Structure 1
Amino acid sequence: MQRVVPVPQQMAENIDRIETLSHRLMSALASRAMPNPAVDGPGAEFFMTTAGAWMKMLAEQPARVIEQQVNFWGETLKHYARASQMLARGKIAAPEDDGPQDRRFANPLWQTHPFFNYVKRQYQINADAMRTAASDLDLPDDVAKRRMSWLTSQIIDMMAPTNFLATNPDALEKAIETEGESLVRGLENLVRDVEQNGGEFLVSLADRDAFTVGENIGTTSGTVVYRTDLFELIQYHPTTEQVHAMPVVMFPPWINKFYILDLKPQNSLIRWVVEQGHTLFVVSWKNPDASHADTGMGDYVAAYIEAMDQVMERTGQKKLNAVGYCIGGTTLTATLGVLKKRGDDRVNSATFFTTLTDFSELGEFATFLQDDFIGGIEEEVARKGLFSAILMSRTMSFLRANDLVWGPAIRNYMLGETPPAFDLLYWNGDSTNLPGRMTLEYLNELCRQNHLVAEGFEVLGEKVTLADVTVPLCAVACETDHIAPWKDCWRGFAQTASRDKRFILSESGHIAGIINPPSKKKYGHYLSNAGFDGTWQDWKDDASFHQGSWWPVWGKWLEETAGPMVAARDPGQGLGPAPGTYVHQRANG
């Protein structure tokens, strides 16, 4: 008679908790709104094109298809035979792996344990076979090839053995060590995420309870001095007795919240600019809801001009220096064009952070900026009046799926860890919706049709191009930026008509390269005297590397454009303290 091994009490209790949590999970998933397949992946036409390419290769080059299969079978059989031989000898050797180190397989068991070693190597063989099959397809153009490569990578990443409990040694060891408690905590984390996101699967990257904007992040002292239905204008309190006469106004992107510029005192760009003796204003955008469905790019350009009006009125100055970050810089470019057309010279200089204006190369976004995906966004906009923060966050996350989806999912759900108390990741998860009209104008007229470079972008009754930007300019791009690649930033910046312009290339990516305070001495930067008549390669070949942050270099440039010193300006009581009220609005929809 088979002996029944009793289940430890703690594990039995955990099994009961899992059952309860499973019911909650099913209930949360049932609350999900009707999905829109068109924003979840490429459309049917792409898959028909891919299937057609495979059938064409099968008909015209059958030997090539057979060769692919034979190679895959051969590698699989050799792997099995070698593993069997090693097992017969009572040991197993680490597989030969000429590729880069993969953090997913850091546990020593992937090298030493027969089962995990076998699974890892077979996964690598499968992945190589899939990449070869995809790259050999005769697709009609570069966009189709890039989409095929992206989709193949997504499938490969999704099917990694680390993503499954039965083939993840870290998760199995943790579950046994904690008598199932880690799996219960992981399920609690999963249920929480699904419930908080209306039935959608969106992994929390940071502990939501660790930060409160205005208390332990976004704490630089300031006052909300003006408010509209689209933005709040914050004037920051001076920390020097005198300030430069000409004020500075920053326009962050409304795709995210402005406090990325003011996370902690030691890495706050806002605090640093104030300490350099500038009267600083920052725009905090409202988190749009369905009532903003008809808010377009023209409304944002008008908001820029309105904010500038307020800055000049409150400082008594006829000119100011403007800064735009990401899409905030793209829109600042359009605003400068409008002002130029109107003969308005209020902007003394402009600075762009990681700003794209020439979209002739769409990079990683080429996968999404096609008719099928754009059509799905149009359906979303027609139904909801906005492009929801959840869809935006999910799309951006899958550009770096292992870092922003699967890795965090393993830690949160399989290992049962609490997401880290990391201010940058907290900000990354505090997303915003996008107004429907603005979303479609930006994607179609700027990204796809490239109107700022081509025939002109029509906004507020003016048709503007990069040639209409003539004020002194400084641009900062980031070397490993995957959202706004520096070469594309450079190309657009080079086409502006300004005779006085400077380009700075920072190390690191879209955020870390910008939020790079001098005190950290972490990332350096490049400066070049090559000018802008050549190519980005000419600029980089001439560039010299400098240790440390680019902030002081930009600060000196800004100081030279900011005028004489005057008495510091106190914003007074205003409408309330910084960071204002709009920054606390969380996305929904």
Structure 2
Amino acid sequence: MTSQTTFPEAHLPDAAAMSEALSQIVEHGNHILAEAAGKAGSGGKVSSDPLHIGDVALAAARSVMADPFRMMAAQTDLLFDCGRLWRNTARRMLGEAPLPVIVPEKGDRRFSNADWTDVSALDNVKQLYLLWSRFLTDSIGDAKALDPHMARKVQFYTRQLIDTLAPTNSPLTNPEVLRATVESGGLNLVRGFQHMLEDMDRGHGRMSPKMTDFDAFQVGRNIATTPGKVVYQNDLMQLVQYTPSTADVNKRPLLIVPPWINKFYILDLREKNSFIKWAVDQGHTVFVISWVNPDGRFAAKSFEDYMLEGPLDALDQIEKATGERSINAVGYCLGGTLLASTLAYLSRKDGGKGRDRIASATFFTTMTDFTDVGEMSVFIDEEQISSIEAGMAEKGYLDGSAMASSFNMLRANDLIWSFVVSSYLLGKEPLPFDLLYWNSDNTRMPAAMHSFYLRNMYQKNLLAKPDAVTLAGEPIDLRRIETPCFFLSAREDHIAPWKSTYAATQVFGGPVKFVLSASGHIAGVVNPPAANKYCYWTGADLPAAPDAWLEGAARTEGSWWPEWNAWVGGYGEGKVPARQPGAGELPVLEDAPGSYVAARIE
């Protein structure tokens, strides 16, 4: 027998709380209107369709008209399944328990509340939504008549539409919101509207749900706390040297080159999951590049500037600090792309005399071949790059919020709509969560660098072509890299798809070890051994096809970190007494993590 939903007794809202909330709504509303009026008066221009979704809609319509039989078949299936759903509704009213016509995909947490199954009306809403979702996917999202790039955009934005229309996002059909509204007398919705205006105020008119309590964290106080010192800085980076925790260390220092799309402390969130601290505890002298958060003054900084003032300058400074000419290096995501470019540059500069300066290179979720960049491709075409460049020309940089929005759309239910429901419909205050604080700690991209990166790598894939890119006067050819390399990729990575990162194994000229971690772009990397989570795959053979590699790979439970440490230990060149920051030629400038990483965009 189907259970009946029971709502709690309705209460009148607290008059004082309602009055305070309404006054704050008026205050924030006035501030937003005033700011909007100021922008209009100053002649600020905002594109009405920066993502060119109108073009996608027209392409979707063309695709449907090109194959009307597919639409008819999808409509027939929908009508048939809707008929089954209505018959099941009648059977439930008679006390039967028929099997559902359709169920959510495994892992879809939107419908985890028991009322979505137990309450007949809500179960019908859920199943009807899932049926319409399947219909839209089959009839529009298929897009077989379009070129592959536009087809992917149609599929992507069809999914965005489907996610937006979910009944979980409506206060009229979400059982948790209905209960909260009855219990609070509607105060949850008033508070939610207040939160929305606060977010728009903070985002200068752009609505972006607050993911976490920003006041709960401070870089250097309760995140990014591994002891160390800043021992050098230039315009683009600070070089952090960490305090040793072992009596002896590997003779070769370890340099970590993080991406500048976000901040390096993803590798040093907390003591228990800090890759940096763990590497220090394994006896590495760890140096990390902390990139500046650029503003308009950095507009002309190029990709080659990041190479010259980043890893290449760091090599010279590490030699001053430790006396060691040769290091082991780690590059993460875009930092790995820069590291690969640096290795190719060193293989050619002065006849390759500097290639020995990096004894081994490790790449975390790094793309060097951009043939297939996954769903990120929906944001990379001529129209959108031109729009991005126009915006950067005005400011001198790409606003960090633009990049964050693109990444969040790749996982809209988890990174957008769950927070809309929690903050705007339930009226809840965000919980303190260090990972989400890091995710919201946006960074900017200098105009010259970002334009070069988008056009030469994402759009034209020139890095994968021998001598097609020139950096600091040297043609870049990845085939010339003879440095031993360790590649770590993540099987569920939606930013750097693992099959694309695998392509480097077929290009680099030196010995290569490829390891595939479970989970995604972050969790697949930040997976400490103590957590005893996930698994990874290894395989000695490197066939051309990534699926063939996986088929022959061996699975190991737990973290890949010890596997990497055993590998990189082979290039440690023995042990020496631990080195303290400031003991060499580089003086201590300030405590880790430094001032560059602490600069936050509000």
TM-score between both structures, scaled by the size of structure 1 = 0.92
Q: Which amino acid aligns with 1:282?
A: V
State whether residues 11 and 183 of structure 2, in contact with CA within 8 Å, keep that contact through their aligned partners in structure 1. Answer: no
Partner in structure 1 of residue 324 of structure 2: 317
Partner in structure 1 of residue 528 of structure 2: 517
Among 334, 337, 357, the residue aligned to 1:330: 337
Among 381, 385, 389, the residue aligned to 2:396: 385
Among 214, 221, 226, the residue aligned to 1:220: 226
Equivalents in 1 of 2:50, 2:249: separation in Å? 51
Per-residue deviation at 1:36?
4.1
Aligned residue runs from structure 1 range 546-585, under 5 A: 546-572=556-582, 574-585=588-599
Write the deviation string for residues 137-196 of structure 1: whole angstroms up to 9, x where unpaired.
443312221111111110010011111111111011012223333334333332332222
Secondary structure of the corresponding residue to residue 165 of structure 1:
coil
User: Closer, same or farther in 2 for the Cα pair 1:446/1:174, shift >3 Å?
Assistant: same
Partner in structure 1 of residue 165 of structure 2: 159
Among 35, 42, 46, the residue aligned to 2:52: 42
User: Closer, same or farther in 2 for the Cα pair 1:347/1:64, shift >3 Å?
Assistant: closer
Partner in structure 2 of residue 4 of structure 1: none
Structure 1 runs not aligned, ≥5 long: 1-6
Query: Which deviates more, 164-173 or 26-35?
Result: 26-35
Write the deviation string for residues 400-424 of structure 1: whole angstroms up to 9, x where unpaired.
0000000121112212222222211
Equivalents in 2 of 1:254, 1:214: separation in Å? 19
State whether residues 409 and 415 of structure 2, in contact with CA within 8 Å, keep that contact through their aligned partners in structure 1. Answer: yes
Per-residue deviation at 1:280?
1.2
Partner in structure 2 of residue 465 of structure 1: 477
Secondary structure of the corresponding residue to residue 537 of structure 1:
helix
Per-residue deviation at 1:339?
0.9
Partner in structure 2 of residue 175 of structure 1: 181
Equivalents in 2 of 1:92, 1:545: separation in Å? 42
State whether residues 86 and 92 of structure 1, in contact with CA within 8 Å, keep that contact through their aligned partners in structure 2. Answer: yes
Q: Which amino acid aligns with 1:460?
A: A
State whether residues 245 and 566 of structure 1, in contact with CA within 8 Å, keep that contact through their aligned partners in structure 2. Answer: yes
Q: Which amino acid aligns with 1:466?
A: L
Partner in structure 2 of residue 274 of structure 1: 280
Query: Which deviates more, 310-319 or 393-402?
Result: 310-319
Aligned residue runs from structure 1 range 475-490, under 5 A: 475-490=487-502
Equivalents in 1 of 2:196, 2:127: separation in Å? 30
Secondary structure of the corresponding residue to residue 546 of structure 1:
strand
State whether residues 18 and 187 of structure 2, in contact with CA within 8 Å, keep that contact through their aligned partners in structure 1. Answer: no
Equivalents in 2 of 1:354, 1:194: separation in Å? 33
Equivalents in 2 of 1:492, 1:204: separation in Å? 38
Residues paired across the two proteins, number: 575
Write the deviation string for residues 450-473 of structure 1: whole angstroms up to 9, x where unpaired.
111124221111110211211111
State whether residues 91 and 98 of structure 2, in contact with CA within 8 Å, keep that contact through their aligned partners in structure 1. Answer: no
Per-residue deviation at 1:56?
3.7
User: Closer, same or farther in 2 for the Cα pair 1:535/1:179, shift >3 Å?
Assistant: same
State whether residues 93 and 112 of structure 1, in contact with CA within 8 Å, keep that contact through their aligned partners in structure 2. Answer: no
Per-residue deviation at 1:123?
1.6
Secondary structure of the corresponding residue to residue 240 of structure 2:
strand
Secondary structure of the corresponding residue to residue 209 of structure 1:
helix
Secondary structure of the corresponding residue to residue 299 of structure 1:
helix
Aligned residue runs from structure 1 range 107-122, under 5 A: 107-122=113-128
Equivalents in 1 of 2:19, 2:171: separation in Å? 19
Among 126, 129, 132, the residue aligned to 1:126: 132
Equivalents in 2 of 1:86, 1:240: separation in Å? 67
Partner in structure 2 of residue 97 of structure 1: 102
Matched, 1:204 2:207: no
Partner in structure 2 of residue 3 of structure 1: none
Matched, 1:195 2:209: no
Q: Which amino acid aligns with 2:440?
A: G
Equivalents in 2 of 1:174, 1:288: separation in Å? 43
State whether residues 337 and 367 of structure 2, in contact with CA within 8 Å, keep that contact through their aligned partners in structure 1. Answer: yes
Equivalents in 2 of 1:326, 1:92: separation in Å? 50
Q: Which amino acid aligns with 1:475?
A: F
Secondary structure of the corresponding residue to residue 201 of structure 1:
coil
Partner in structure 1 of residue 7 of structure 2: none
Matched, 1:347 2:352: no
Among 416, 434, 445, the residue aligned to 1:434: 445
Secondary structure of the corresponding residue to residue 525 of structure 1:
strand
Q: Which amino acid aligns with 1:310?
A: Q
TM-score between both structures, scaled by the size of structure 2 = 0.90
Matched, 1:23 2:26: yes
User: Closer, same or farther in 2 for the Cα pair 1:28/1:496, shift >3 Å?
Assistant: farther
Write the deviation string for residues 490-517 of structure 1: whole angstroms up to 9, x where unpaired.
112331111x221111111111111111
Structure 2 runs not aligned, ≥5 long: 1-9
User: Closer, same or farther in 2 for the Cα pair 1:67/1:446, shift >3 Å?
Assistant: closer
Q: Which amino acid aligns with 1:497?
A: G
Equivalents in 2 of 1:24, 1:41: separation in Å? 32
Q: Which amino acid aligns with 2:589?
A: L
Equivalents in 2 of 1:340, 1:39: separation in Å? 45
Equivalents in 1 of 2:70, 2:552: separation in Å? 45
Equivalents in 1 of 2:97, 2:186: separation in Å? 29
Q: Which amino acid aligns with 1:468?
A: R
Aligned residue runs from structure 1 range 356-367, under 5 A: 356-367=367-378
Q: Which amino acid aligns with 2:569?
A: E
Secondary structure of the corresponding residue to residue 369 of structure 2:
coil
Aligned residue runs from structure 1 range 272-311, under 5 A: 272-303=278-309, 304-311=311-318
User: Closer, same or farther in 2 for the Cα pair 1:82/1:280, shift >3 Å?
Assistant: closer
Q: Which amino acid aligns with 1:144?
A: M
Per-residue deviation at 1:260?
0.9
* Identity percentage of aligned residues: 36
State whether residues 466 and 496 of structure 1, in contact with CA within 8 Å, keep that contact through their aligned partners in structure 2. Answer: yes
Partner in structure 2 of residue 368 of structure 1: 379
Per-residue deviation at 1:324?
0.6
Write the deviation string for residues 205-256 of structure 1: whole angstroms up to 9, x where unpaired.
2221221111111111111001111110011111122222211111111111
Query: Which deviates more, 450-459 or 380-389?
Result: 450-459
Equivalents in 2 of 1:64, 1:536: separation in Å? 33
Aligned residue runs from structure 1 range 403-442, under 5 A: 403-442=414-453
Equivalents in 2 of 1:50, 1:10: separation in Å? 46
Equivalents in 2 of 1:393, 1:137: separation in Å? 27
What is the CA RMSD across the aligned residues, in angstroms?
A: 2.3
User: Closer, same or farther in 2 for the Cα pair 1:29/1:122, shift >3 Å?
Assistant: farther
Partner in structure 2 of residue 240 of structure 1: 246
Per-residue deviation at 1:38?
7.2
State whether residues 465 and 477 of structure 2, in contact with CA within 8 Å, keep that contact through their aligned partners in structure 1. Answer: yes
User: Closer, same or farther in 2 for the Cα pair 1:471/1:437, shift >3 Å?
Assistant: same
Q: Which amino acid aligns with 1:582?
A: Y
Equivalents in 2 of 1:349, 1:65: separation in Å? 55
Partner in structure 2 of residue 451 of structure 1: 462
